[in-house]
Amino acid sequence: MRAWVVEQPGPIDHHPLALVERPGPEPGAGEVLVRVSACGVCRTDLHLAEGDLPPKRPRVVPGHEVVGRVEARGEGANRFEVGQRVGVAWLRRTCGTCRFCRRGEENLCLSPAFTGWDADGGYAEQAVVPEAYAYALPEGFGDEEAAPLLCAGIIGYRALRRSRLPPAGKLGIYGFGASAHLAAQVALHEGATVHVMTRSENARRLALDLGAASAGGAADPPPEPLDAAILFAPVGTLVPPALAALDRGGTLAVAGIHLTDIPSLSYERHLFQERTLCSVTANTRRDGEEFLALAARIPIKVTTDPRPFTAADQALSDLAHDRVSGAAVLRLPTPS
């Protein structure tokens, strides 16, 4: 099969990925083999390729927004039928026994595994996944539309919940890419007023088209105090202005797995009056199930930027340089 691998982590424009031929994977006990039809391009893939997230194994295959059909089942795997469409997401396995798993916080598992980091992901023609961590996908979304739901959507949903946005509250969103444009629609559906701050002119237009009340520059103050905010851009220098934009008791949730250094904060200006700064770490399977059901009910409009499978490296470069509107998705050819 053809697959993209992280050959040598480094700046994306130095081509750290390589397209290779390698044997197809075999499903183990409790696993399913998936013929990949689409895979979303996530900023985490960019962090992996550039070395911000050191690869857990040599020549790992990125990609954790995977849509495809079950092609084979390993021993004991019976949750999905052969030919059924499934989704493969970031959370790949948890121990199930640590104190966090026991209390329902498997996103904080002490021995987790992640798709496209610990194990090969979806920048390939085939992938395997433990069936317990795969998702049945809503029928209302095509393969290309469903792919970004599996990380951008799920993580955005968890970040929205972590922000403690009150009913009919005012939400600020910093950075407006794949995850943000999905989370914004959930917030709007639930009655929030959404203000977007982003450096991309195209992203500002998309935000307004989706119903945002305002869209300004990345560090601009919003037109009114915020009850909650989410930082999607991996830019630590945006933390102080985002905190300063919060009203009393507001929460800023940082959604990324990687963030550049945060400048020093003023207690009085940024944190006093019970403002809260919190992080978002991975997701639980419950987050995924809740979000996919909600996405179908709304229904969410997924803005995609489709790319051919052979252009995965260019797609990541475009993501790094703000040349993607919505969510970039790799499309794989249907086997003949």
- Rounded distance, CA 140 to CA 199, Å? 32
- Hey, what are 146's tokens? 């469903």
Please state, in angstroms and as integers, the Cα–Cα distance from residue 255 to each residue in 28, 52, 151, 252, 279, following that order. 33, 16, 11, 9, 6
Matching fold, domains 2-150+288-331 and 154-279:
no
Please state, in angstroms and as integers, the Cα–Cα distance from residue 119 to each residue in 64, 72, 255, 323, 331, following that order. 10, 18, 22, 28, 21
Q: What is the pLDDT along the chain (336 residues), one digit of tens a residue?
A: 999 999 999 999 999 999 999 999 999 999 999 999 999 999 999 999 999 999 999 999 999 999 999 999 999 999 999 999 999 999 999 999 999 999 999 999 999 999 999 999 999 999 999 999 999 999 999 999 999 999 999 999 999 999 999 999 999 999 999 999 999 999 999 999 999 999 999 999 999 999 999 999 999 999 999 999 999 999 999 999 999 999 999 999 999 899 999 999 999 999 999 999 999 999 999 999 999 999 999 999 999 999 999 999 999 999 999 999 889 999 998 765
CATH code for the structural domain at 154-279: 3.40.50.720
- CA dihedral (6, 12, 14, 20) positive or negative: positive
Q: What is the pLDDT of residue 336?
A: 53
In the block, residue with structure tokens 């601009």: 220
CATH code for the structural domain at 2-150+288-331: 3.90.180.10
∠ CA 206-232-274, rounded to 5°: 120
Question: Does the predicted model carry a pTM greater than 0.85?
Answer: yes
Domain regions of the chain by residue span: 2-150+288-331, 154-279
DSSP 48-116: HHHTSS--SSTT------EEEEEEEE-TT--SS-TT-EEEE-SEEE--S-SHHHHTT-GGG-SS-EEBT
- Hey, what are 143's tokens? 């393969």
Q: What share of the chain is helix, strand, coil (3-state, %, to 5)?
A: 30, 25, 45
- By three-state DSSP, how is residue 152 classified? helix
